[in-house]
Amino acid sequence: MRIPVVAFLTLFLCGAVLTLAPACGDDAKATDPIVGDWHILTSFQGQERISKISVARAADGSLSGTYADSSGSTAPLTELAFEAGTLRFKRAMGTRILGFTATIKGESLDGSHLLGPRKIPVKGVRGKKAFDAFMVAHRKANERGADLEADYGKHKRRAAPRDAFPVLTNPKMAAAKDATGIRDDEPVIGVFLGGEALAYPISIMGVHELVNTTCGGQPIAASW
């Protein structure tokens, strides 16, 4: 008689696990309007970049998260808040602090990066599969049409205009010990010449692409 009892207890315990597990797993995460990975598409002067915002909620209800950009670098989210359907946070990008605000509706996100007075639009969805489907629809909406002249005009408008990435000329430099907003593992372009060492963070070069300056008394150009 012991075997049936053990089998019954095992079945009972398994039933408890199957009943309780979803409340602590993905279904619980799905019921939270903000927790998860939000994959976003940023469009700026004809350029498009894909990034990811990861948001978690602690037992006390507080939020934390990270931002991973298309270059592979990550930054923690600060001043992270979600109120009345609006997500807000700040993040470091090189030596600069960028703001972010977006409206969350179900599994979709619509908002802007805030760089000073400039607003750079973003759209996204929660979950990688949903984002892949979103990008397929986005690409179809931008694929070549039957009218080649109209198609040319559309893609011409999507191209980055001249000077879209302003060149840095003799930018202000800071000693490594005084640099703020730069992570210890930040990828950089390094230059050593005439006894002088300079480093240009990729997070900054990705926006400007070219810097004209001097190193060790010699004129140089660093490009990304």
| The pLDDT value given to residue 196 | 92
| Residue 217 sits in the same domain as residue 125 | no
Rg of the chain over CA atoms, in angstroms?
24
**124 and 185 assigned to the same domain:** no
Beta bridge partners of 109: 104, 124
Asked whether residue 105 is assigned to any structural domain, the reply reads: yes
Kindly report whether the global pTM for this prediction surpasses the value 0.75: no
pLDDT in tens, the chain (224 residues): 444 433 333 333 334 333 333 333 444 455 899 999 999 998 876 678 889 999 999 999 999 999 998 777 889 999 999 999 999 999 987 777 889 999 999 999 999 988 767 788 999 999 999 999 998 888 777 665 555 445 444 444 444 556 667 788 888 888 888 877 677 777 889 999 999 999 988 878 877 888 999 999 999 998 88
The total number of structural domains that make up the chain: 2
Residue 192 covered by a domain: yes
In a domain, 9, yes or no: no
Residue 109 lies in a domain: yes
81 Cβ contact partners less than 8 Å away, ≥ 6 residues apart: 63, 87, 88, 89
**Same structural domain, 216 and 183:** yes
The answer to the question of residue 67 being in a domain is yes
Domain that holds residue 84: 32-147+154-158
Rounded Cα distance between 185 and 204, Å, is: 14
